[in-house]
Amino acid sequence: MFKQILFTLLLLVVSQLHVSAQSRGVSGRVVEKSSGTGIAMANVIVKDQSEKIITFATTDSIGAFALSVGDASGMTVSVSVLGYKNYSAPLTHTAQPLVIALEDGALQLKEVTIHGSKIREQGDTLTYNVASFAQKQDRTIGDVLKRMPGVAVDKSGKIQYQGQDINRFYIEGSDLLGGKYGVATNGISYNDVGSVEVMEKHQPLRVLSGVSFSDRAAINLRLKSKSKGTWLTNGHLGGGYSTQPEEGLWNAEVFLMKAQKGYQSITTLKSNNTGESIIGQAQDFLADSRLAGIKSYIRLELPSIPTFGSRRSLLNRSHLVSTNHLWKKGVYEFKANADYCYNREESTSSSVTQYYLHDGNKNITEDNTGKKHDNKLTGALTIEANQTRYYLSNTLRTELSWSDISTAMTGTLPNHQDGRLPDHYVVNQLQLIKRFGKNLLVSFFSLNEWENSPQSLTVTVADESAKDFHQHIGDHAFHSREYAEYSFLFHHLNISLEGGVEANFRHMGSEVHGLMNLEDSVFNDVTTNYLSMQLSPKIEYAIGQFVITARDPMSLTRYFFNQRIGNQSEWLHAPSLKIRWQPTGRLSFSVRASTNKSPIDLHDIHDGLMASNYRSWYRGSDCFYTSSGKGLDGNVAYRNGAQGWFGNAFVSKSWTNSPYQQAQDFRGNDIIYSWESNNTSAQNVTALANISKTLDFIRGVIGFTGAYRHSRITMLSDGVPTLTRQTTYRYGGRLNGNVSRWLFLSYEGMLSISKLGMNNVSQRALHNALHQFGMTVTPISKLSIEGGMDYYHNQELSGNKQNFCFLDAKFTWALSKVADIEFSATNLLNKKTYSYTTYGDLASFSSTRYLRGREVMVTIYLKHT
């Protein structure tokens, strides 16, 4: 066996030497024309006389590249990278080694027009031809993105590429929306977009090019020539009737956009009661978590249905107004963004929650009618200069939200609940990065947050053995983080050192009024302040196909608590090592190992009880402690845009050890969650995989996806240690395409298995399936007929199996080039209830929900031409 392996390796070496002898090596550097600084991640492409790509490479951290070609006669070398003008020159007329100097250019590149090919590759940039993926029934660019292999889009408009969230969303090279790009994916007409660019390994800050490496991608929309520099408008207005609830329906939208040199704008207005929750379309998909991070202690939520789309179950009133503007003045960009969202939801359900206890299970029945109102107003002002020598950005943002929820409940304990959950948040973030020479970077960051969240819960009970109560919580915090970073680039080695100060000032007080059958204190007066000195060294080494990153964030923190806990200091650090290997431009591997020591969530420090709803109470910890953890994860990604192949897989495992253990105890119908002093450990395993392929012969796509999650944690249940094991399997696929000139078919399916096991008891299992079939028939150019069927297979805890089928139909007639009329009917079989079961920690939840009944709509669509 060893001889066979050795012989194979010798053959590979000899063949490589033979190829090298016949090939001509081409190497050099891509640099800035003004400063001579190397440009990383530039695409270097060699083409023959017929413009066919012979070979390509991507420059490393100092702008260097190397590739091999055969006879160089008649060949050209081209270089492109975001932010610079394109370069092209005959290969035979250039001396070796090459020094290619690029001039600064606008962030947007020239428009790319693609003929024939669905996906075009240029180094790390893939260009999808929108016309090749669009179908008759599509309206927005989000509809088309969902069919592009390697790209995933959820209902809110959030985009993932190869299993990872994108890090920027550009329109003609400008970042108008920041992370709130859901209004674009769900608003821009696909007819206005010529192509979609996916820029892999995208570094948004030009000053960090060649210094800080990115493994995430960005999306850039290239508008058609006719759509640039003019106001683009589209929208619709529809009305109809629903049988459950019995009411009139409406669905209205107006979308306006302009993209020209020096100015971009998007304004949209949306309103509906048809089951489309549009509040998620205005959320910031790229926002970091708040460091002030006040969380709601009151947890009242209307039940949702797993796997169900909102158009089946959401009884809503939703409104959205969003306006976004970007002005360019010299090197500066000024952005103003404002959004207002309103959402009202109603829900009616019957449920049984079964708690698994060592001395017998406990059941809680609830028949619930609830209503929830959400109001959210956000605004942001940003000034930014994104240059190769420096970067400056300052953003002032505010988020104001008002939420209230009320429920009327019968069952084990009849009651009425009212929750008020407002939240007020203001943040200013400043970032300044300056590059000195070729190899030195100095950065300064400042973040200041203020948050206030007064919360209240009022419970009125009908049972004479229990009493009404009212709970008020006042929680406010100010958080500041100021730090500087020094980075030095030496050939392939980047060394950076970040240091600074972080301070947090927070006070939380709560009290409960009313007589209850609880012996514990229901009052809290908690101060959780701290001052932290932080240091974070990082080393990145890029050589050939490898990038190795090591970092170790460290902090010395002094905590200031109430007199009961006292003050104390803690030294924390979290070292990690990541290795990324990219043997080819299409294939990459990465592995990461980390370990950490982290403090308790400061929101869990309180020794008095706090009510989250009418029967659930939480008692936090009365002391400060730290937990330790470690993790290991790996990722592999492959894409071949020319052939339409995309695939990625991710696997991770984490271990956590804590000196405290979560506990639950029953006192009559009340359940108390707390933390008890007891060493405990937890494990989590996650594996995800996706693969997709274009089917050019039917202008379609085939794809498969799979997911596995497993967790192990030990909890105390009525004082008894209980090991809980939860396992979930999900796998499915999709297939769509045109089987003829007038017929388009689509299928998406997902199967899932959920398992729950406790101690040595065998695991309980639930099986569920969803199959969605779609058909679009275009008998004549003006008429489009769509039919859809959703088939659900659901297993309840009792073992009962249910099979549900929903049928939908839609007819669209083109009135003119700018207007369509649509007649639609959903839930033709008028299914009105649905039952399901899910698992939680030491519990199962079985519910019957009321659905949206049969609905008919007439909608007029207006579009830009």
Domain that holds residue 86: 19-102
Rounded CA separation 767/795 (Å): 6
Mean per-residue pLDDT, 112-133: 78
198 assigned to some structural domain: no
Which residues, 6 or more positions from 377, have their beta carbon under 8 angstroms from its beta carbon?
A: 339, 340, 399, 400, 401
DSSP states of 608-638: SEEESSSSEEEE-BSS--EEEEEEEEEEEEE
Q: 668: left (phi > 0), else alpha (psi -120 to 50), else beta?
A: left
Domain CATH code at residue 33: 2.60.40.10
Residues 241, 94 within the same domain? no
Question: Final residue of a domain: which of 102, 122, 147?
Answer: 102
384 assigned to some structural domain: yes
pLDDT by residue (tens digit) across 576-632?
Answer: 999 999 998 899 999 999 999 999 999 999 989 999 999 999 998 888 999 999 999
Rounded CA separation 508/637 (Å): 46
Domain count, the chain: 2
Domain CATH code at residue 287: 2.40.170
Mean per-residue pLDDT, 691-700: 94
Phi, psi for 311 (deg, rounded to 5): -70, -10
- Element housing 131 (H / E): helix 130-133
Mean per-residue pLDDT, 315-328: 96
Q: Of all residues in the chain, what percent carry a pLDDT higher than 90?
A: 62
723 assigned to some structural domain: yes
pLDDT by residue (tens digit) across 805-821?
Answer: 999 999 999 999 899 99
- Element housing 82 (H / E): none
Mean per-residue pLDDT, 5-32: 52
Residue with tokens 């003119």: 816
Question: Final residue of a domain: which of 54, 87, 102?
Answer: 102
Residues 619, 765 within the same domain? yes
Please give the pLDDT value at position 71. Answer: 63
405 assigned to some structural domain: yes
Indicate the SS3 state at residue 156: coil
pLDDT by residue (tens digit) across 537-553?
Answer: 999 998 888 999 999 99
Q: Which residue type sits at 99?
A: V
Contact 157, 181 (CB under 8 A): yes
pLDDT by residue (tens digit) across 23-78?
Answer: 456 778 888 777 677 787 678 888 876 666 677 777 765 677 777 676 666 788 88
pLDDT by residue (tens digit) across 454-487?
Answer: 999 999 988 776 778 999 999 999 999 999 999 9
182 assigned to some structural domain: no
Which residues, 6 or more positions from 428, have their beta carbon under 8 angstroms from its beta carbon?
A: 394, 395, 396, 397, 446, 447, 448
- Radius of gyration, alpha carbons of the chain: 29
Mean per-residue pLDDT, 750-774: 88
Mean per-residue pLDDT, 111-134: 77
Task: Output the average pLDDT for the chain.
Answer: 88
50 assigned to some structural domain: yes
Question: Final residue of a domain: which of 102, 136, 167?
Answer: 102
19 pLDDT band, cuts 50/70/90, is very low
Q: Which two tokens stand for residue 821?
A: 């009329």
593 assigned to some structural domain: yes
Residue with tokens 């893939």: 126
CA neighbours within 13 Å on the CB side: how many for 129? 17
Q: Between these two residues, 251 and 8, which has the higher pLDDT value?
A: 251
Q: Of all residues in the chain, what percent carry a pLDDT higher than 70?
A: 92
58 assigned to some structural domain: yes
Closest CA to 746 of 127, 137, 131: 137
Q: Which residues pair with 234 in a beta bridge?
A: 255
